[in-house]
Amino acid sequence: QLCQAIEECKQVILALPEHSERQKDAVVRLIHLRLKLQELKDPDEDEPNIRVVLEHRFYKEKSKSVKQMCDKCSTIIWGLIQTWYTCTGCYYRCHSKCLPLVSRACVRAKVSHQAEYQLSICPESGLDSQDYRCAECRAPVSLRGVPSEARQCDYTGLYYCSSCHWNDLAVVPARAIHNWDFEPRKVSRCSMRYLALMVSRPVLKLREINPLLFNYVEELVEIR
């Protein structure tokens, strides 16, 4: 489709009066189409099957599904024409070209070595304490959305850019333990992966953390 659009754009340019505004606009469109085509081309077919980055163990995917999104650049992975990788530990997915730019360490390592939850409810410290930068990739962010919208993670209380925070919803353990609140809240991509990996681990000693909860929740009394 892109190749066809490029050929059609060339014909339009030739048919328009030279140096006219319409011809200039068509040339700009042609440049954008060619850049898009170049972006989709995959010159790295000989890339290794395994790549290790920030404790991620990335495996080259053989699936041709086009319904995946790159966790780094937040754009679609075109499996038919692009090489992409998935971390076997935390399922982080990204384009081959995005691998050198990955800034998020694999949360599987944290789950293995430090399996514990943040048990304060949304411990916000303020955007100024982050120097108005994303907590993960350090891109500039602001509450006004310029240059990028600052999105708060309800689990960590930190602010992230739209590339690191996709408004995913997850149950926040601190709210469940202290308020018996299981309403899903918006969390960052990193927090969502961590919570998903931690969900089956028996690390919450509820009788020590909040023994009063047993006075109000009948199901807990029955379990005890």
Q: How many CB atoms lie within 10 A of CB 190?
A: 24
- Between 44 and 126, name the one with better pLDDT: 126
Q: Is the pLDDT assigned to residue 215 strictly greater than 70?
A: yes
User: pTM value?
Assistant: 0.64
Q: Is the pLDDT assigned to residue 32 strictly greater than 90?
A: no
CATH superfamily assigned to domain 115-223: Zinc/RING finger domain, C3HC4 (zinc finger) (3.30.40.10)
Instruction: Return the domain boundaries, the chain.
Output: 1-41, 51-107, 115-223
Q: How many helices and strands (H and E) does the chain possess?
A: 7, 10
Q: Assess contact for 20 and 28: CB atoms under 8 A.
A: no
Please give the pLDDT value at position 159.
92
Please give the pLDDT value at position 64.
66
Average pLDDT, the chain: 84
pLDDT tens digit string along 178-213?
A: 888 999 999 999 899 889 888 888 888 888 888 888
Q: Tokens 């989709």 label which residue?
A: 40
Please give the pLDDT value at position 21.
82
pLDDT tens digit string along 39-83?
A: 666 545 556 678 888 888 888 887 666 678 888 888 888 877 788
Please give the pLDDT value at position 160.
92
Query: Candidates 3.10.129.10, 3.30.60.20, 3.40.50.720, 3.40.50.620; correct CATH number of 51-107?
Result: 3.30.60.20
- The β-bridge relationship of strands 56-60 and 76-77 is unpaired
SS3 195: helix
